[in-house]
């Protein structure tokens, strides 16, 4: 019967210590950020290039809005 239970002298080595809550929270946040990045750029070979294109497109749209608001657009009505 004594063969089933290990010696209690070595039982302290089997205890798993958990990190403090702040460290655990930080690790979980880092893992969540990593998963979010991976899902955002899934299937994209060069995520930096995608980011540059997105920023360039935003700049073009911003310039178009600024130009159309100040210049009144390029269309003129003519009655002939």
Parse the chain into domains and list their residue ranges. Answer: 22-67
pTM over cut 0.85: no
Query: Scanning the structure block, which residue is given the tokens 């657009």?
Result: 73
State phi, psi for 40 to the nearest 5 degrees.
-65, -45
Helix ranges restricted to H, the chain = 21-40, 47-71
**pLDDT given for residue 45 in this prediction:** 83
**Per-residue pLDDT reduced to its tens digit, 18-64:** 889 999 999 999 999 999 988 887 888 888 898 899 999 999 999 88
């Amino acid at each position: 019967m004594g063969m089933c239970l290990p010696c209690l002298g070595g039982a302290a080595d089997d205890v798993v210590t958990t990190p403090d809550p702040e460290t655990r929270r930080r690790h979980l946040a880092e893992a969540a950020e990593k998963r979010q990045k991976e899902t955002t750029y899934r299937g994209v070979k060069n995520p930096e290039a995608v980011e540059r294109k997105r920023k360039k497109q935003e700049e073009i749209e911003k310039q178009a809005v600024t130009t159309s608001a100040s210049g009144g657009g390029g269309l003129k009505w003519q009655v002939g």
